[in-house]
Amino acid sequence: MNQLPPDRSQLLTEQSAGDAPLHQFSADELVAHIQAADAQLPQALAAAAPAIAAFIRAIEPGFVRGGRLIYLGAGTSGRLGVLDASEAPPTFQLPEGRIIGIIAGGDGSLRRSSEGKEDDPHGALAELRALKLGPDDSVLGIAAGGTTPYVSGALAWAAALPQPPVCGLLSCTTAPPPAGVQHHLCVLTGPEVLTGSTRMKAGTATKQVLNTISTSLMIRSGRVYRNLMVALRASNHKLRDRAARIIAQVVPCDREQAFAHLDTCHGDVRAAIVCARRNCSPDQAQQLLQQADGRLERVIDGNSGD
């Protein structure tokens, strides 16, 4: 007889939200029912805000020194981590490999489900070993139920390193993280409309938390000025238009002048702004930005922004 799987019925994400006859609902009723459940998310996210902020504070110093943020998860959780990691380079001109998404089953699992891979507590260890983690790095395991062996095994291994990274678990239950994991980002989203389908409320909340972590980290590390993504990579028509509008707003100048500054600086928004505001050459702008650790406010406003 095959061994029975662990009983997870006590987990909040596995419990039932009631016995609504969804199979009898009209399209209008289903939309209303699902949206009513999603309306509970802001309260759950607000309750988790202190833990989210504490994690950001903990990983910021190491990240600024050149450390990396590694997300890892299985299924929907892993896909959301890979998605957030992949957005950072074009949005913030972050070098590849500074935010990394690891998913159970590898990149093929982004399109095709590899559900069995999540049961292997050693499944992520080869990739983590290859990263040669250190104290400036951080690892955030993502698991809606908080008990996924792939995630728990990886976190336990990372936390036990001689010089461990900052370790955290993002989950939607109170199941405790492995020993040595300092941060538990617990967003209690409650039972799902479709019982156990954590791609729904839990997935939505997870995406919001990852957005918050990565965006806050980019802001704190100097890649944002005011509320503008001044470090974006203008790699297509949409982003060139956005880059020109950012330049025009900060300098300020008209649209044509903004594009001229952008092209003179080979698409570098921060350098274009410095050239215009400081009346200097692109090379001088790059030197000023380098001296200011890339923080635009230190060059054009003369303050630290801290």
Specify the amino acid at residue 78. Answer: G
CA distance linking residue 121 with residue 157, whole number of Å: 10
Residue in the structure block whose two tokens are 């928004």: 269
Q: From CA 276, how far away is CA 59, in angstroms rounded?
A: 34
Q: How far apart, in whole angstroms, are the C-alpha atoms of residue 179 and residue 56?
A: 20
**115 is annotated as an active-site residue:** no
Q: Which residues are CB-neighbours of 111 under 8 A, at least 6 positions away? A: none
The total number of residues shown for the chain amounts to: 306
Active-site residue 256, yes or no? no
Q: How many other CB atoms sit within 10 Å of the CB of residue 111?
A: 7
Residue tagged active-site, from 118, 127, 192, 256: 118
The arrangement of strands across the sheet holding 69-73 comes to 99-103, 69-73, 138-142, 166-171, 183-186
Amino acid at residue number 199: R
Given the residues 60, 87, 127, 297, select the one marked as catalytic: 87
Based on DSSP, count helices (H) and strands (E) in the chain, helices before strands.
11, 5
The angle subtended at Cα 27 by Cα 24 and Cα 29, nearest 5°, is 70
Active-site residue list:
87, 118
